[in-house]
Amino acid sequence: MRLVIPLMITFVAGMIMILQFFVPATQSMGESLQEWYMIVASAAIFLGAVNLIQVHTHKIRFKLKNWKYSPVTIIGFSVMILTGLFLGIEPGRPFDYMFSQMMVPMGATMFSLLAFFVASAAFRAFRASNWRATLLLVSAFVVMLGRVPIGTMIWDRIPLISEWIMQVPNLAGQRAVMIGAAMGMVATSLRMIFGIERSYLGGAD
Amino acid sequence: MATFLEKLGNIDRRIIFIMMALAVIIPLSIRMSLPIPIGEGPSKDMYDAVEALPSGSRVLLSFDYDPSTMPELQPMAIALVQHLMTKDIKIVSMALWPMGVSLGNEALIAVSDSLGREEYVDWVNLGYKTGGGVLIVRLGSDIKSVFPVDYDGNPVDDMPVMDGVNKLGDFEMIISLSAGDPGVPAWVMMAGDRYNIPIGGGCTAVSAPQFYPYLSTGQMIGLLGGLKGAADYETMVRIGVENAPAGTATPGMAAQSVAHLVIMIFIILGNISYLAGKKKKGRVK
């Protein structure tokens, strides 16, 4: 039964979501399922929060690897939740202050660090070892120059060549990837609906 | 014994980090300015599409990003809001990412205050709801059941800006500023294709290439890609406007120009070292 009930739920929900496009009578059922999805997804956020606390409490209790960061996570999480719940989230409140003065700069800093690692990685790995790598290297140079004003100052056709690379070779590659991924998604969805693919059940058999 | 050229390939990465830091800090510190050339392209298409909207139109603006991508996407948000509000276009905003709500609110309040626009009359922030693509489909049939109250908890039924807005089809355009999933692809697939609404977008430079197929098929009317897209839009919005406030993307382009040059120089040095090593190995054989 542990297997049959989830498989039946998946089959019925999946079929309703497909049929609603073709059978008008199933449209309202499809809309109800969409409502349920949003409620379940909201509940998942709560579960995620509980899980976060459990994982980090466990790490602190047993002094697992890097446990010293866990109190920071729990304190940060608790302070944000409590200030948001009890003092409000409107502009000017402590929650908003912590968001704009702490979270925003820290988030931007983390993303900005990529520039340093990209520079270092490009220096060590971007080698013209064969004609294909050389082609990639030249394309990268053209696109990098085409995306900044200095490229136009060097030669005013660089942005045009850069845009051509984006609109022709890049587009062909991207479209192939998208169509391939979409076909894969359809196939996987059908396998799940018909109970062939069961890995999402967490290994139950 | 390793030659100078071979040693070049083993530069300490701390030197690369320092050079990169200087490449960004110096242009920003000396307020280096480079002209932003505006040519035909996705940024111009985006601007033209917004420009073509008649006054009083309604646009849904979705802030689908978080602080990590804010340096690229927030200047776009400000420039877009500025353009929309200047043209008296009503903005209904929301977010598919929880932290996008506050960032969007910052942009809306800042521009609204500077242009004397009124919340609930000219714009409203509906807030965040979970669900991604499914949420968009629900908005396609009934917005007010999904967002009965706005971000501040006020009922949307009482707001003039929401008059006549019941479903996605009531918007003249949807613009998503997106840093990932859910974002632009969800809006294109669930709203643009399904309800035939023009979709515009903004994204980080690294994700822009994946949206070109949507541009070529007309599923997207325009795209602002990375800091360049933001700087293009800032420049276009400021054309013909006296005392327009300077954005943050345009000065950032000078720093980005120098940073790109530094990266390219390091790649060239790495390759010189690599080729020198290869040549030496060939001689030994």
Q: Which of A42, A99, A122 has its CB closest to that of B267? A: A122
Is a pLDDT exceeding 70 seen at residue B193? yes
Reported as a single tens digit per residue, the pLDDT across A110-156 is 888 988 999 999 998 889 999 999 999 999 999 999 999 999 999 99
d(CA B252, CA B34): 10
Map residue B223 onto helix, strand or coil: strand
pLDDT band at B2 (very low <50, low <70, confident <90, very high): low
d(CA B53, CA B55): 7
ω into residue B182 within 30 of 0, thus cis? yes
CB pair distance less than 8 Å for B71 and A112: yes
Is a pLDDT exceeding 80 seen at residue B3? no
Nearest-CA neighbor of B199 among B164, B179, B224? B224
Q: Which of A118, A123, A149 has its CB closest to that of B270? A: A123
Is a pLDDT exceeding 80 seen at residue B51? yes
Mean pLDDT of all residues in A172-195: 95
What are the residue ranges spanned by the domains of chain A? Answer: 1-87, 126-205
Nearest-CA neighbor of B152 among A49, A123, A88? A88
CB B192 within 8 A of CB B171: no
CB pair distance less than 8 Å for B34 and A149: yes
Both tokens of B193, joined, read 């294709």
Is a pLDDT exceeding 80 seen at residue B55? yes
Q: Could you tell me which residues are beta bridge partners of residue B125? A: B93
Instruction: Suggest the residue from B7, B36, B40, B102 to mutate for an interface test with chain A (most A CBs closer than 10 A).
Output: B102
Query: Does the CB of A153 have a partner CB in chain B at under 8 Å?
Result: yes
What are the residue ranges spanned by the domains of chain B? Answer: 42-252
pTM of the model: 0.90
CB contacts of A100 in chain B (<8 Å) are: 102, 106
Q: Which CATH architecture has domain B42-252?
A: 3-Layer(aba) Sandwich (3.40)
Query: Does the CB of A55 have a partner CB in chain B at under 8 Å?
Result: no
Q: What pLDDT score was predicted for residue B285?
A: 64
Reported as a single tens digit per residue, the pLDDT across B120-159 is 999 999 999 999 999 999 999 899 999 999 998 999 998 9
Q: What pLDDT score was predicted for residue A61?
A: 96
The CA distances from residue A184 to A7, A19, A180, B12, B193, in Å, are 20, 20, 6, 44, 20
Q: What pLDDT score was predicted for residue A77?
A: 95
Mean pLDDT of all residues in B82-95: 96
Query: Does the CB of B110 have a partner CB in chain A at under 8 Å?
Result: no
CB pair distance less than 8 Å for B37 and A149: yes
Higher pLDDT, B285 or B188: B188
